[in-house]
Amino acid sequence: MVWFRRRYIIYIVLIIIALWWSMDMTGFEWRKLTQIGNIYHMVTTRFFPIEWSLFPRMAYHSLVTLAIAFLGTFLALIVALPLSFLAAKNTSGSMAMYSSVRGGLSALRSVPEIVFGLIFVTAFGLGPFAAVLAIILHNIGVLGKLISELVEAADNGPQEAMRSVGATRWVGHLFSILPQIWPNVLSHYFYRFEVAIRTSLILGFIGGGGIGQQLFNHFQSFYYTAVALDIVLIMIMVILVDFIGGQIRARVI
């Protein structure tokens, strides 16, 4: 059998060693999972009843979080879309352009949003503006890479047809590649939108505004019934964005 070949046995042994090493380094212990009842007790006694009286104020902060995520992701898409054509081998035009743009996208992608957030909070002060900038820069790197791979995988037939009728290179790229990849571009966009909602929560911990900052304040003050409300609103936001994204993708496809 293929699974009993020597190299597969070596792979399995290496994976087991990596798992053992990782569990040792992180202090992972299976017996601690038997204490899950403590979590259940804490949630049922401290998080309920939910503090619904704070709903109007928390709903406002939820809208701020949605605005941060939408603006950061949408502006990133506008910048990443043309950059992705320059970062694709079949459309970049030269190896120097391909390498430089690809390297720039990798650099942006390698810096976490919270690092950008710390820099911008220091430069511009507390508030959502710093969070938006942090999400924009990181998402340019992520979306640029994802879309460039879609461009490279696009069917070459429509591109040849555009060239045969005398279309310029960039007009040919626009009308032969973009229609092919657009449904997947939207899929990537809405996924990054969902990720940006969760990211904006973390950025709220460092003063980026939105419901993330309120969640941090409630945890700090042991106001757990308000934390429960924050969690409910966060879940509603993510589910709503996923539903709307699915409807839009279905119409486009």
The answer as to whether 229 is a domain residue is yes
Say yes or no: 29 and 139 in one domain.
no
Domain ranges, residue 70? 57-252
The answer as to whether 21 is a domain residue is yes
pLDDT on residue 63: 87
Say yes or no: 175 and 203 in one domain.
yes
Say yes or no: 189 and 145 in one domain.
yes
Say yes or no: 84 and 161 in one domain.
yes
Burial readout 168-195 (b: 16 or more C-beta within 10 A, e: otherwise): eeeebbeebbbebbeebbbbbbbbbbbb
Number of domains in the chain: 2
Q: Is the dihedral of CA 59, 65, 68, 72 positive or negative?
A: negative
Asked if 186 contacts 173 with a C-beta cutoff of 8 angstroms, the reply is no
Full pLDDT tens readout for the chain, 253 residues? 555 677 778 888 889 899 888 888 887 777 776 766 666 666 666 777 777 888 888 888 888 888 888 888 999 999 988 888 888 777 777 778 878 888 888 888 888 888 888 888 888 888 888 888 899 999 998 898 888 888 877 766 666 666 666 556 666 667 677 777 788 888 888 888 888 888 888 888 887 777 888 888 888 777 878 888 888 888 888 788 778 777 776 776 5
The DSSP call for residue 31 is G
The DSSP call for residue 155 is -
Distance from C-alpha of 129 to C-alpha of 120, rounded to nearest angstrom: 8
The DSSP call for residue 54 is G
Say yes or no: 163 and 102 in one domain.
yes
Total-model pTM: 0.76
pLDDT on residue 172: 65
The answer as to whether 48 is a domain residue is no
The answer as to whether 47 is a domain residue is no
Q: Under 8 Å CB-to-CB from 227, ≥6 apart: which residues?
A: 47, 215, 218, 219
pLDDT on residue 3: 57
Say yes or no: 34 and 108 in one domain.
no
